[in-house]
Amino acid sequence: MMTITAPLRTAAMFLLMLVALAACSTSETLRVAQPQRPASLKYAAIVVDAGTGRVLYDADSTSPRYPASLTKMMTLYMLFEAMESGRIARDTPIPVSAHAARRPPSKLGLRPGDTIDAESAVLALTVKSANDVAVAVAEYLGGSEEQFAAMMTAKARSIGMRGTTFRNASGLPDDGQVTTARDMAVLGLALRKRFPAQYAYFSNQSFAYRGRAIRGHNELLRSVAGVDGIKTGYIRASGFNICTSVGRDGRRLVVVVMGGDTARARNAHVEELIERFLPRAARTGV
């Protein structure tokens, strides 16, 4: 029995019942003609009906993988919580330390002593996947990136991500930072259900910052009808990762593909999964 579960510990987390309801037998899934699986040993994938939580496709979705910049989905989850609680406002200045400024690309190019307002930080994370901004947010909310990573891991457990451990806020290489395709699907579903007002940030393809136009990495936003986020990622150890949300005609999927050989091959596989499985999703209007 292939099941996604999420503990319903608070009224807010009750929104994750769509995850908890997911139950699909492997034998049932395999009776559907399956797409050709990429040969990469890093590959893992899952397709979830976002309206019911039903798993429509699974390939090693509980096997350990490196999240790369999919990590920033949890960094954003924590930032959205802080904004929702009133701890910070959209215009709150977030200071940039020397450690944050030194992070390698992808980055916004912030300097030590700079500040970035919280809303620009959200855009920099969703569109640019800026590592310097991720660390600045971590240090501001957690006191240190290490402490923030511990907070991220605790939050992951609380929403049902059983196979994820965070060591940093950006997704830069760390052998101890692991996740699963299943967990990334849980997080993708949680972001949309928990923060419906903020979720629109994930559909931005570009934003303006200090007179510069900053363009994003997610080509599926431009090329596949109904895609409205969420996040791409790459490090050498992970291959090309993506967590995608797509909706058409009242049907919605969350698709996670990890370990693509190239961004183009990953995107083509995601599009194949969308076209194959979206018609099988329940029409719920989510």
Task: Tell whether 44 is covered by a domain.
Answer: yes
64-74 pLDDT tens trace: 999 999 999 99
The rounded percent of the chain whose pLDDT value lies above 90 is 84
Mean pLDDT of the chain: 90
Q: What is the pLDDT of residues 137-164, one digit of tens each?
A: 999 999 999 999 999 999 999 999 999 9
> pLDDT digits over 260-278, tens only?
999 999 999 999 999 999 9
Q: Quick check: 17 pLDDT over 50?
A: no
Residue 109 belongs to a domain: yes
Catalytic residue among 42, 61, 69, 170: 69
pLDDT of residue 43 exceeding 60, the answer is: yes
Kindly state whether residue 78 falls inside one of the protein's structural domains.
yes
Identify whether 286 is part of a domain: no
Mean pLDDT of 219-226: 95
CATH of the domain at 130: 3.40.710.10
The arithmetic mean of pLDDT across residues 220-236, rounded, is 95
Host domain of residue 76 = 2-280
Pick the catalytic residue from 61, 97, 120, 129. Answer: 129
Is 155 known to sit in a ligand binding site? no
Q: Is 42 a catalytic residue?
A: no
285 falls within a domain: no
Please say if 72 is a catalytic residue. yes
DSSP notation for the chain:
-EEE-----STGGGGGHHHHTEEE-HHHHHHSPPPPPP--TT-EEEEEETTT--EEEEESTTS-B--GGGHHHHHHHHHHHHHHHTSS-TTPEEE--HHHHTPPSS-----TT-EEEHHHHHHIIIII--HHHHHHHHHHHHSSHHHHHHHHHHHHHHTT-TT-B-S-SS----TT-BB-HHHHHHHHHHHHHH-TTGGGGGG-SEEEETTEEEE-S-THHHHSTTEEEEEEEEETTTEEEEEEEEEETTEEEEEEEEEESSHHHHHHHHHHHHHHHGGGS-----
Banded pLDDT at 14 (limits 50, 70, 90):
very low
Mean pLDDT of 176-205: 96
Prediction pTM value: 0.89
Does residue 19 lie in a domain region? yes
pLDDT of 131 above 60: yes
Of the residues 72, 107, 128, 193, only one is catalytic, namely 72
Domain count, the chain: 1
